[in-house]
């Protein structure tokens, strides 16, 4: 049976991220391992997928407990690209939304690989960059400790900035696809900014998830606190539901953390006043599960919710003591109970 162009395009999208020096390309062996993981998550037997067994099996109980290095190790029983395409086609025929599930899993995997590359390649700051900042603390401690403090905090700022960037590229499109929509940039957005007279302008508003079939425009928030938004930024957030209403869309607010605040109350009231809806905490996850359908709800429950819920448990705790060590070929982060080490290139 011939393989559809849709399946071939999905396979290509799943395999490659970006271009040029920053490109991440998954090997056939990595695709093979990710397909196996997707089939395990969704209960698809080998009799349906046609995939051979993994040699030795996956070392972790789930995706996050399996080292990235294992996925990058060649699998002796990996079929060629055409065999992987056939398996993807069979799974997509047998399980609704399997293609989307697999593409999102591959997107997550590629971004994680890319960030490990960023950690290994982010250059150490030079004193030309950070030396002038010593004026604020010079003489408080000895020169060596101050130089190390300046270097570490600049490097940490740089990699954290890249982490925020890469997470943004991953998080919103994945959630949007689970909700049956897509992230839309300001250039092509149906939602336009309103001028002081309440009339639409030519300037569009970014939409985290646009569901054109149901005329919904979603705004995603991890959390809304008093300190989280400056007054200018919060004014932008308050204007979004009004602009959605003017565009004939229903604004929907999704807030994953249920922590209450006056800002959250005000934002929810503004969405309601413009014919919108708000889902917070458990209600947000319930809504997303219902919209996602059976297959993509599994993706949300296995790949998106666990990290957010588990990390939220540490919100009110003081950070544990850590020791940072920089050597010629690695950086090591040592905590009270674990060590995180990655190679430098």
Distance in angstroms (rounded) separating the CA atoms of residues 253 and 277: 6
- Does residue 228 surpass a pLDDT of 60? no
Distance in angstroms (rounded) separating the CA atoms of residues 270 and 240: 9
Number of folded domains that form the chain = 1
CB count within 10 Å of CB 52 equals: 16
Predicted TM-score (pTM) of this structure: 0.90
Distance in angstroms (rounded) separating the CA atoms of residues 322 and 227: 27
Does some domain include residue 192? yes
Q: Which of 3, 2, 100, 89 is nearest to 48 (CA)?
A: 89
248-292 pLDDT tens trace: 999 999 999 888 899 999 999 999 999 999 999 999 999 999 999
Does some domain include residue 135? no
Does some domain include residue 241? yes
- Does residue 227 surpass a pLDDT of 80? no
pLDDT the model gives residue 230: 54
Q: Which of 242, 170, 235, 157 is nearest to 208 (CA)?
A: 170
- For 71, 88, 100, 175, the CA distances from 36, given in Å and listed in that order, are 11, 11, 15, 22
pLDDT the model gives residue 58: 80
Does some domain include residue 303? no
Does some domain include residue 256? yes
pLDDT confidence of 231, banded at 50, 70, 90?
Answer: low
Provide the H-helix boundaries in 24-142: 28-42, 46-49, 68-72, 81-94, 98-121, 127-130
83-126 pLDDT tens trace: 999 999 999 999 989 999 999 999 999 999 999 999 999 999 99
Does some domain include residue 263? yes
């Amino acid at each position: 049976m011939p393989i559809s162009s849709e399946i071939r395009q999905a396979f290509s999208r799943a395999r490659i991220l970006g271009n040029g020096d920053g490109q991440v390309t998954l090997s056939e062996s990595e695709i093979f391992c990710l397909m196996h993981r997707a089939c395990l998550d969704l209960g698809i037997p080998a009799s349906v997928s046609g995939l051979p067994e993994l040699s030795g099996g996956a070392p972790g109980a789930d995706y996050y407990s399996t080292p990235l290095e294992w996925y990058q190790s060649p699998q002796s029983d990996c079929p060629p690209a055409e065999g992987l395409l056939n398996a993807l086609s069979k799974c997509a025929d047998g399980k609704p939304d399997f293609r989307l599930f697999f593409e999102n899993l591959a997107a997550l995997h590629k971004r994680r690989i890319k960030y490990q590359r960023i950690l290994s390649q982010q250059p150490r700051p030079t004193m030309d960059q950070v030396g002038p900042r010593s004026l604020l603390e010079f003489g408080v401690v000895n020169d060596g400790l101050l130089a190390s403090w300046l270097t570490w905090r600049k490097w940490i700022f740089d990699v954290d900035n890249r982490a925020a960037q890469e997470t943004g590229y991953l998080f919103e499109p994945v959630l949007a696809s689970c909700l049956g929509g897509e992230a839309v940039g300001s250039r092509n957005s149906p939602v336009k900014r309103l001028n002081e007279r309440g009339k639409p302008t030519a300037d569009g508003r970014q939409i985290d998830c646009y569901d054109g079939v149901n005329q919904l425009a979603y705004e995603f928030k991890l959390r809304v606190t008093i300190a989280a938004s400056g007054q200018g930024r919060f004014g932008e957030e308050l204007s979004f539901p009004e602009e959605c209403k003017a565009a004939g869309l229903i604004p929907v607010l999704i807030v994953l953390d249920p922590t209450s605040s006056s800002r959250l109350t005000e934002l929810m009231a503004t969405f309601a006043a413009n014919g919108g809806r708000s889902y917070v905490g458990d209600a947000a996850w319930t809504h997303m599960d219902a919209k996602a359908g059976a297959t993509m709800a599994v993706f949300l429950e296995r790949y998106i919710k666990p990290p957010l819920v588990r990390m939220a448990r540490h919100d009110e705790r003081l950070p544990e003591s850590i020791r940072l060590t920089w050597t010629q070929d690695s950086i090591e982060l040592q905590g009270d109970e674990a060590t995180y080490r990655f190679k430098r290139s």
